[in-house]
Amino acid sequence: MNLRMSLALYGLACLSTAPAAAQVSPSAGQLMLVSFPYCPMDYYEADGRELVIRDNLALYNAIGTTYGGDNRVFQLPDLRSRAAVGNGVGPGLLPVAPGQKLGHESLKLAETNLPPHAHRGGIQTSTGAANRTTANGNAIGISASDSFIEGYDPPAGFEMEASTVVVAPEGKSAPIATREPFVALRWCIAYRGAPPLPTQ
């Protein structure tokens, strides 16, 4: 076999072999994740936009108003800055319905989120002689006679009024980020294609 015939046979073999492809035509409503800054032909970006039903029947028949809408318009799923999770329920898992939105990018802790703890307050005192009869704006000083009992814990109902001891507040209520490490890609949804058929 000469070189010319070998090349001809190789060319025929290449023409008869179909290129590898994941899917020739997507189903309407099928999602695709891409790394480039736009969605390909026959795809919308999954950005929660509203679409008129009569202009997008194939896509509407696939997803309906699962992600919002009424009898005139419907919404696409909004996956911008969001993670997709599988719907359903499993042992020990939170039930999730199709189209349901859960979670927060950050949160602020409330008192009920903190473990039990106590704050100690202090009373300002002085070693100088007492020279005022009112406590407001003043410190406790030394009086002519003893005023306190060492090591005595008063019984219930005889403690000092709580408002007389002020504990300075701490903290700034800064939100706590709840996101895990991520890399941003683009979600696209097919608006044309064969209707998706359920498995038997």
pLDDT recorded at residue 117? 80
* Residue 153 predicted with pLDDT over 80: no
Nearest to 26 by CA among 68, 65, 55, 62: 62
Share of the chain above pLDDT 90, in %: 40
Strands 73-75, 106-107: pairing is: unpaired
pLDDT recorded at residue 20? 43
pLDDT interval class at 163 (50, 70, 90):
low
Helix (H, G, I), strand (E, B) or coil at 59: helix
pLDDT recorded at residue 37? 94
User: Whole-angstrom Cα distance, residue 93 to residue 88?
Assistant: 9
Nearest to 171 by CA among 97, 117, 100: 117
Residue 43 in any domain: the answer is: yes
Please tell me which residue, 169 or 52, carries the higher pLDDT value: 52
Residue 96 in any domain: the answer is: no
Average of pLDDT values for 115-140?
Answer: 76
pLDDT interval class at 146 (50, 70, 90):
low
Per the structure, the complete domain to which residue 36 belongs is given by: 32-83+176-199
Helix (H, G, I), strand (E, B) or coil at 1: coil
Residue 19 in any domain: the answer is: no
pLDDT recorded at residue 199? 74
Residue 57 in any domain: the answer is: yes
pLDDT recorded at residue 42? 93
Residue 153 in any domain: the answer is: no
Phi, psi of 127 (to 5 degrees): -90, 0
Residue 39 in any domain: the answer is: yes
Tell me the pLDDT tens digit for each residue of 77-101.
999 999 999 999 989 988 999 999 9
pLDDT recorded at residue 194? 84
Sign (positive or negative) of CA dihedral 111, 113, 114, 115: positive
Please tell me which residue, 177 or 3, carries the higher pLDDT value: 177
Going by C-beta distance under 8 Å and a sequence separation of 6 or more, which residues neighbour residue 133?
Answer: none
Residue 65 in any domain: the answer is: yes
Q: Where are the beta strands (DSSP E) in the chain?
A: 31-34, 43-45, 50-52, 73-75, 106-107, 125-129, 140-142, 176-177, 186-190
Query: Considering its fold, how many domains does the chain have in total?
Result: 1
Average of pLDDT values for 168-172?
Answer: 76
Note if the pTM is more than 0.75.
no
Nearest to 42 by CA among 194, 152, 167, 158: 194
pLDDT recorded at residue 147? 65
Residue 91 in any domain: the answer is: no
User: Whole-angstrom Cα distance, residue 197 to residue 105?
Assistant: 35
